[in-house]
Chains A and B, each alone.
Chain A
């Protein structure tokens, strides 16, 4: 990775310098260095227990670092100063609210905390309820909300004052596909006016809306780059070959044959098909077809797979082998 700019530089909205958090003997976050430029949507990817939530809690000032520092707009989060200045909108991964309040009442209290009053506040609350699709449910008690509605309300309270920095922990995990689409579009729409840092383990979501992505595992930052850079750097081109029924029985022999083809680095068998990894896709494709034709292998499918973020993720976290097994 190229050296990061200093975390307190003015064009850096969210910064971490050697940010470390230890719970007893467990090292939850191990010297995280991060510099998120203003106005982008930044995805925080990692398997469960990677340290995503810990990093977000440190950035929101809810937890204190064991070492290092977290900065919002160049201000240390340790004493809660960014919160007091209204610089942060924070959504917990499992948002909980006082069940006796209505959705509108909650946003009213949050608006008052941000210094909003009167008609201006009512208008902002109405706009926010509309934005997160809760206008109809606003007069109802939160105790009767579904998990998805709570998550939408959580997003609403986080964006109410249009903060410069939004920290969203798994913001779409409880939503149905339609809700997920809407909320992701909303988050994407906030880019520019806000810097959004959102954690997820759903790679398709990150791929869809993130300008940059960081991958964490076991508390360590593995990489930080744009989606395109990640795919270019880590996603190895793959051909999928599905032979006809006559050749499925001799799949292993076919795999051995294809390992000798130009550019092929590995051949993986499984589920009646072969996945051929290559470091020279332009040369390997025709060579594979020639080899298959020479051995009179009938084909059901032959395709070059589009590299995906999932592949990058599995490769970087070392879970590719586990997944294949």
Chain B
């Protein structure tokens, strides 16, 4: 991993200087705030506007609704952010000749890829933590205070889920010379993961399965499966990185 330190420093600075980190923080925090608000006030809004019969049919909002809204909103926005962050990371550098600039120096291709993936992961982690922090605060204010450890664990599981989608798109970006092809790769990966997630035996081990475990932890419950899904998804990210590295080391730049 020759040159990892300088390359990682450059990638992290790039996340900040190109305002990617700032945008991710703002968007994630906005959805983190909005989720408990929507869970709290959507039923009240329906009750105020709908007929008495329909209003009576709407159940009162619960803390579990706030957690579900959070996982749905931040999860969906996060997947989009993961794809956008990863799609051009390697493909654009190859297309513009920037990869060639750094790889004619004492820098290994493995270090080059790892620096990029770590920087994307750092941005996604910062965004997820920001969303988790404000989501926790607003959920406590509007509903009830949840166990902080469980809620934080949910945030980390959500981050791991997003990292899988980012890694899939990153692989596409490494294989292709176009960021659009990389995005298509990420979206295809998303569809594949959704298909696998629908299978009864293995669904819990997909990124979607991490949401179930995170939900239980946030609500102070014991998840049905935790270690297995975490290990599987971590191994998936590592395996994707190894495939990307193997392909990249043979590529001409």
- Count chain A CB atoms within 10 A of each CB in B14, B100, B103, B105 and give the residue with the most: B105
* Choice from A62, A84, A90, A114 contacting B108 with Cβ under 8 Å: A84
> Is A110 part of the contact surface with B, judged by Cβ < 8 Å?
yes
* Choice from B98, B102, B253 contacting A113 with Cβ under 8 Å: B102
* Known pairs A98-B14, A100-B17; A114 contacts B106 (CB<8 A): yes
Cβ-defined contact, A64 with B252, below 8 A: yes
* Choice from B9, B96, B100, B109 contacting A109 with Cβ under 8 Å: B9
Cβ-defined contact, B103 with A115, below 8 A: no
> Is B149 part of the contact surface with A, judged by Cβ < 8 Å?
no
> Is B228 part of the contact surface with A, judged by Cβ < 8 Å?
no
A72-114 with Cβ < 8 A to chain B: 80, 83-86, 88, 90, 92, 94-98, 100-101, 105, 109-110, 112-114
Cβ-defined contact, A62 with B100, below 8 A: yes
- Chain B window 82-116, contacts with chain A (Cβ cutoff 8 Å), 1 for yes, 0 for no: 00000000000000111011111111110000000
- Chain B window 1-40, contacts with chain A (Cβ cutoff 8 Å), 1 for yes, 0 for no: 0110111011001100110000000000000000000000
Q: Per DSSP, are chain A's interface residues mostly helix, strand or loop, or mixed?
A: loop
Return chain A residues, CB-CB under 8 Å to B106: 83-86, 113-115
* Known pairs A62-B253, A109-B6, A112-B6; A83 contacts B104 (CB<8 A): yes
Q: In angstroms, how far is the closest chain B Cβ from the Cβ of A29?
A: 13
> Is A60 part of the contact surface with B, judged by Cβ < 8 Å?
yes
Return chain A residues, CB-CB under 8 Å to B97: 92, 94-96
Cβ-defined contact, B100 with A92, below 8 A: yes
Residue of B nearest to A112 (CB): B6
Cβ-defined contact, A112 with B5, below 8 A: yes
Cβ-defined contact, A88 with B104, below 8 A: yes
Return chain A residues, CB-CB under 8 Å to B10: 98, 101, 109
* Choice from B2, B98, B253 contacting A96 with Cβ under 8 Å: B98
- Chain A window 16-46, contacts with chain B (Cβ cutoff 8 Å), 1 for yes, 0 for no: 0000000000000000000000000000000
Cβ-defined contact, A113 with B6, below 8 A: yes
Residue of A nearest to B107 (CB): A113
> Is A131 part of the contact surface with B, judged by Cβ < 8 Å?
no
Cβ-defined contact, A100 with B102, below 8 A: no
Q: In angstroms, how far is the closest chain B Cβ from the Cβ of A159?
A: 13
Return chain B residues, CB-CB under 8 Å to A62: 100, 103-104, 252-253
Chain A: residues with Cβ within 8 Å of the partner, total of 29
* Choice from B2, B101, B253 contacting A95 with Cβ under 8 Å: B101
Return chain B residues, CB-CB under 8 Å to A314: none
Q: In angstroms, how far is the closest chain A Cβ from the Cβ of B217?
A: 39
Return chain B residues, CB-CB under 8 Å to A90: 100, 104
> Is A63 part of the contact surface with B, judged by Cβ < 8 Å?
yes
* Choice from A96, A100, A113 contacting B3 with Cβ under 8 Å: A113
A96-146 with Cβ < 8 A to chain B: 96-98, 100-101, 105, 109-110, 112-115
> Is A15 part of the contact surface with B, judged by Cβ < 8 Å?
no
- How long is the Cα–Cα vector from A98 to B88 in the complex, in angstroms? 13
Cβ-defined contact, B101 with A97, below 8 A: yes
Return chain A residues, CB-CB under 8 Å to B102: 109, 113
* Choice from A57, A92, A100, A114 contacting B14 with Cβ under 8 Å: A100
Q: In angstroms, how far is the closest chain A Cβ from the Cβ of B253?
A: 5
> Is A171 part of the contact surface with B, judged by Cβ < 8 Å?
no
A141-167 with Cβ < 8 A to chain B: 157
Return chain B residues, CB-CB under 8 Å to A57: 252
Q: In angstroms, how far is the closest chain B Cβ from the Cβ of A191?
A: 21
Q: In angstroms, how far is the closest chain B Cβ from the Cβ of A115?
A: 7
- How long is the Cα–Cα vector from A60 to B101 in the complex, in angstroms? 11
Q: In angstroms, how far is the closest chain B Cβ from the Cβ of A63?
A: 5
Return chain B residues, CB-CB under 8 Å to A96: 96-98, 101
- How long is the Cα–Cα vector from A92 to B96 in the complex, in angstroms? 11
Cβ-defined contact, A97 with B104, below 8 A: no
- How long is the Cα–Cα vector from A105 to B17 in the complex, in angstroms? 12
- How long is the Cα–Cα vector from A98 to B119 in the complex, in angstroms? 16
* Known pairs A100-B18, A113-B3; A83 contacts B98 (CB<8 A): no
A-B contact pairs, 26 of them (CB 8 A): A62-B103, A62-B252, A80-B103, A80-B109, A83-B106, A84-B2, A86-B106, A90-B100, A90-B104, A92-B100, A92-B101, A94-B97, A96-B96, A96-B98, A96-B101, A97-B98, A97-B101, A98-B14, A100-B17, A100-B18, A109-B6, A110-B105, A112-B6, A113-B7, A113-B102, A113-B107
Binding site for A on B (CB under 8 A): 2-3, 5-7, 9-10, 13-14, 17-18, 96-98, 100-109, 252-253
Binding site for B on A (CB under 8 A): 57, 60-64, 80, 83-86, 88, 90, 92, 94-98, 100-101, 105, 109-110, 112-115, 157
Q: What would 17 more interface pairs be, CB under 8 Å, given A62-B252, A96-B101, A113-B106?
A: A61-B104, A62-B104, A63-B252, A63-B253, A64-B252, A80-B103, A80-B108, A83-B106, A84-B108, A94-B97, A98-B10, A101-B17, A112-B6, A113-B3, A113-B6, A113-B7, A114-B105
